[in-house]
Structure 1
Amino acid sequence: MPNQHCPLCNQGTQYFCQDKLRSYWQCQNCALVFADRTTLLSAADELKHYQLHNNDLQDLGYRNFLQRLAQPLQQHLAQTNLSGLDYGCGPGPLLAKILQQQGQKMAVWDPFFAADKTVLNQQYDFITCSEAIEHFVQPAVEWQKWQQMLAPAGVIAIMTKRYTSLDFFQNWHYKADPTHISFFSEHTFHFLAKRDGYKLHFPANDVVIMQRIKH
């Protein structure tokens, strides 16, 4: 059964809710909520949906939106000339450009728009993931890649909207996007931080900064 095991921690799940689009399941361990895995778009339909997005590099509103992730990340890094990877950069890698302009060395990866796998074989001081983690079909696989690529005291900076409760989720516009299929809560990030050794910071209700603890 495709929904019986959590795609993030592989533990047991329970039915969460239903809307006009699909049903949702929740992990009983890490609290990830995920869309019924039998209802996912094909890769071709997923790409068509992304091509409707207008991620214009000159769009000031889009730049200001991404600054909500870039600014607390830069404060956390506290130095420049570090190596970073923007994972899931989309068709307009503006976040990488912003961080480059602020003195960091950036690589980009995206399965549809920047699929050069050589960048996945390197180590980085920080990894950013802006409005992409909610698209992951197998978040455990992507998360494990990050663990391998991240430096011992590295930072992961994620932007994704977090759900808070069943009532909140049922009326949430964020799940109406058919490519949004994995939904995180603060509890989910606390689970990952405790399991894999990170300090957590929540500078905004859709931003999390995770600092790897040196062993």
Structure 2
Amino acid sequence: MTADAPLTEARPAPAAIDACPVCRARGSQPFLSVAGRDYRRCGTCAARFLDPRHLPSREAEQAHYLHHENDPDDPGYRRFLSKLAIPLLARLPMASRGLDYGCGPGPALAAMLREAGHSMALYDPLFHPDPEPLSHSYDFVTCTETAEHFHRPAEAFAGLMSLVRPGGWLAVMTCFQTDDARFQDWHYRKDPTHVVFYREETLRHLAAARGWRCEVPVKDVALMQRPSAQEDAG
């Protein structure tokens, strides 16, 4: 669901148009103009993103999110989320502590992880806006169908990674952008609240820039592991 950086203050003015909002590299290039929206691409991390001049307002985003129907008891929705849950659960110690960031009104993933024996906290700026969970650290943080909404993804990822304990995981699910020729008609692009599009290499770049490992067990899922305390010390 929706999420800006894990902070509660108002958004700052957008950065320079040619700056990549994902990796902060300068020199992004025009990519495509479609339906009155301009997109750019980063030559450093390979992200595609909406020109900051076209970012939707918070009010427009909220109105759109209210049309989403994500029932925690829907078997189809649970199958969709299992794409991330299954490989993540295979890597977690028993009784780990997690945060579902951007959980939306129906936190199905959190329910699935609780059923597997893990404790879960929730945060969503619209539906679970209490910032108290953001003051703790976790064995893992999940971010499903959320990163594509970030207006400031570099800051958002930095904030999320700061919540992960040494040796822990940041688990991200977002539809990877793979084919420039199909971008214009891609259903994911047509969602007006989707403003940044990641490739597998984008998420690997973000992890490597911080010295984290990144595994991609299936398309659209990246599991980033923070180095252990011993590795950090070394």
TM over 0.5: yes
When the two chains are superposed, the root-mean-square deviation of aligned CA atoms in Å is: 1.3
Match of 1:88 in 2: 102
Q: Deviations over 1:18-66 (max 9, x none)?
A: 2125110112211111112122221111111001001112211111111
Secondary structure at the residue paired with 1:125?
strand
Match of 1:127 in 2: 141
* Larger relative strand fraction: 1
Deviating 4+ runs (over 6 angstroms)? none
CA distance in structure 2 between the aligned counterparts of 1:116 and 1:27, rounded to whole angstroms: 34
Alpha-carbon distance, 1:211 to partner: 1.4
Match of 1:108 in 2: 122
Match of 1:23 in 2: 38
Structure 1: tracts of 5 or more residues without a match: none
Match of 1:45 in 2: 60
Q: Deviations over 1:70-112 (max 9, x none)?
A: 11100111x2211101111011111111101110110011111
Query: Does the 8 Å contact 2:161/2:170 carry over to 1?
Result: no
Alpha-carbon distance, 1:170 to partner: 3.2
CA distance in structure 2 between the aligned counterparts of 1:190 and 1:67, rounded to whole angstroms: 21
Q: Which residue identity is paired with 1:120?
A: L
Match of 2:76 in 1: 61
Match of 1:73 in 2: 88
Q: Deviations over 1:118-144 (max 9, x none)?
A: 111100000100100000000111111
Alpha-carbon distance, 1:2 to partner: 4.3
TM-score, normalised by the number of residues in structure 1: 0.95
TM-score, normalised by the number of residues in structure 2: 0.87
Aligned residues: 214
Match of 2:8 in 1: none
Q: Which residue identity is paired with 1:60?
A: P
Structure 2: tracts of 5 or more residues without a match: 1-14
Query: Does the 8 Å contact 1:21/1:176 carry over to 2?
Result: no
Equivalent runs, 1:126-205 vs 2, <5 Å:
126-205=140-219
- Return 38-47 or 154-163, whichever deviates more: 38-47
Q: Deviations over 1:170-189 (max 9, x none)?
A: 33221000000011001111
Secondary structure at the residue paired with 1:204?
coil
Query: Does the 8 Å contact 1:2/1:38 carry over to 2?
Result: no
